[in-house]
Structure 1
Amino acid sequence: MSISIFFFLLAVAVPAAHAEPSYEACTGLVETDPDAALDMAQTLKLMRGDDEAGGMHCEALALTAQGRPADAAPVFYQLAERMLQASDEMRTPVYAQAGDAWALAGNAAQARRAYSEAIARMPEDSRYRLGRARMRALEENWEGTRDDAAEALALDPYLTEAMLLRAAANRILGFPQAALADANKAVELRPHDLEALVERGRVHMALGNRQSAWTDWQSVLDYAAATGRNDDPAVVAARQYLSR
């Protein structure tokens, strides 16, 4: 199996029974039987070359499918570190997968480190800037959040999540007018986005415009009720704000 297939081939369903160990067979089991995929990954890891690398990647995917992102993340990261002969286009997504897994596990510092490795290799990809911006927000590094969100928007001006992260950062840093510009744009692009409405409500409150804030938060409840999203975290936040 070529290493290019290893990174960019999507998992193809392969019958579990009597399947010969291979990267394709292993990833084909991830969604339907992650335990079997993990077993096959261990077999592949005993081999050399692409098979060993494929086993590590499948192991990390299977651990993620089992709901064990904290265990999957270091496997993704170790694999990316070992891919010394691979191109940046091949290594970078694996660093990003490590970042995604650490983010799921709640380890913002390690996730940020993995996204930074991805950014260093493919700085033109907005997704990795956005991932690091999320982690910096979790760490309450608002200047860093604003910088990464701004870089992501420079690469992709329509990233609403980056707009909201920059809006939150500017709001917290004391620049509510700048925050409002981003929040308004996000709502304009996605008028029924619950998180966008919640954040714009926060910005309105920071500007002393209580009525506009309440209108946004009430819209969150209305849209959520109409679409069956009453348990969305944005709805919980809107209810709390309206009850004050």
Structure 2
Amino acid sequence: MTRRNPYLSGALALGLLAAAPAPLLAAQAASPGPSSSVPASALDRNRELQACAAKAEANPDNALADAKRWQQQGGGDSAKLCEALALFHAGDFKAAGAQMEALVPTLGKDDPRAAASLLGRAGWAWLRAGDQGRAERLYSAALDKTPGDVDLLIDRAFARAEGERFWDAVADLDAALTRDPKRADAYLYRASAQKALSNYRQALADIDQALELKPGDPEAILLRGNVKALGGNLGAARDDWSLARRVAPDSEWGRAAAANLARTAEVAGDAGKDKAKEKKVQ
């Protein structure tokens, strides 16, 4: 199951900006013009951080060089955050996670939401680095700051599932869906956890909910086929795999569906050959 994490996109940068500069933007909006009480240097840092965040996604190596120059010029924590973004997009997840964690006491000092934002993103970095335990601890710390946050509950559930703690993942997803029953991704992740627990009926019910909210989702269709196959209904599974391949042939889910179809066809072919050999022997 792939975590469609919003932190991978430009939302990563904008979410992290809430850790410090966003309140400055709010103040600027409340008091626009020359009379604004927001220091010009703070607004400059915010603009530079936004520019760095955009560059980090498109060209992380250049963004990393910019971040280091900015630190040498006195950019402080904003420059360090810029560096963390660049490291993340460059694939150095451990360094990015450690950097974001280190910034929590300063950038998140006076704002629980800011601290939770950084902790959550650090958790995502550590999860990408393969450290599910550390990721879960960071998500839990973030939830202590902002209890009931749906995205953080889903993230922690994903981390728990990656560590094969499926019942705990289901508990988090139950809580997330209680707060926001329109989250198709949460239904899909809960279905994946139920599949791992061999609770196929519950998994199919969750997939139906996900598809009702997001019709034609190839990942959900692929998963439904996989669950049906595990439940012994290979014919229905092949129908779903064929549908997933038609809906999104060039996606990872369409390709996985095509592979499933090929494997089952090969198995069926081998079984047919074995039967033919048995008849000859007889």
TM-score band (shorter)?
Answer: 0.7 to 0.9
Partner of residue 191, structure 2: 167
- Which piece of structure 1 moves more, 187-196 or 30-39? 30-39
Structure-to-structure mapping, 1:100-179, within 5 angstroms: 100-179=124-203
Deviation at 1:139, TM superposition (A): 1.4
Give the Cα separation in 2 of the matches to 1:222 and 1:60.
39
The aligned residue for residue 38 of structure 1 is 67
User: What are structure 2's unaligned runs of at least 5 residues?
Assistant: 1-18, 26-43, 56-61, 265-282
SS of equivalent to 2:182 = coil
Is 1:241–2:257 an aligned residue pair? no
Bigger radius of gyration, 1 or 2? Answer: 2
1:180 equivalent to 2:210? Answer no
Q: Is the 8 A contact 2:52 2:82 kept in 1?
A: no
> In the superposition, relative to structure 1, how do residues 115 and 34 fare at CA in structure 2: closer, same or farther (>3 Å)?
same
Secondary structure at the counterpart of residue 31 of structure 1 = helix
Retained in 2: the 8 A contact 1:29–1:36? no
Of 37, 62, 86, the match for 1:62: 86
Question: What secondary structure, in the 3-state scheme, does the structure 1 residue paired with 2:215 have?
Answer: coil
- Give the residue type in structure 2 aligned to 1:40: R
Amino acid at match of 1:111: A
State the alpha-carbon separation in 1 of the partners of residues 180 and 209 from structure 2. Answer: 14
| Alignment check: 8 A CA contact 1:201 1:212 kept | yes
Letter in 1 for 2:51: G
* Equivalent residue number for residue 24 of structure 1: 47
31-40 or 186-195, which moves further after superposition? 31-40
Q: Cα distance, 1:7 vs. partner?
A: 7.0
Distance in 2 between the 1:82 and 1:207 partners? 51
Cα distance between partner residues in 2 of 1:151 and 1:75: 30
Q: Is 1:191–2:197 an aligned residue pair?
A: no
Q: Deviations over 1:48-103 (max 9, x none)?
A: xxx53223222212222333222111110111144563121221111111112223
Tell me the CA shift for residue 215 of structure 1: 1.0
- Secondary structure at the aligned position of 1:70 is classed as helix
Compute the displacement of 1:6 (Å). 5.7
> Structure 1 pair 179/30, CA: closer, same or farther in 2 (3 Å)?
closer
Equivalent-residue separation in structure 2 for 1:201 and 1:190 (angstroms): 17
Give the unaligned 5+ runs of structure 1: 10-20
Aligned to 1:17: none
Task: Give the secondary structure class of the aligned counterpart of 2:248.
Answer: helix
* Identity score, percent: 29
CA contact (8 A) 1:74 1:98 kept: yes
Aligned residue identity for 1:38: A
1:15 is aligned to none
Q: Which residue of 2 aligns with 1:5?
A: 21
Change (3 A) 1:172 1:61: closer
Cα contact 2:108–2:118 (8 A) shared by 1: no
More helix by share: 2
Q: RMSD across aligned C-alpha pairs, in angstroms?
A: 2.7
The CA deviation at 1:189 is 1.9
- Of 168-177 and 179-188, more deviation after overlay is shown by 168-177
Q: How far, CA to CA, are the matches of 2:188 and 2:230 in structure 1?
A: 15
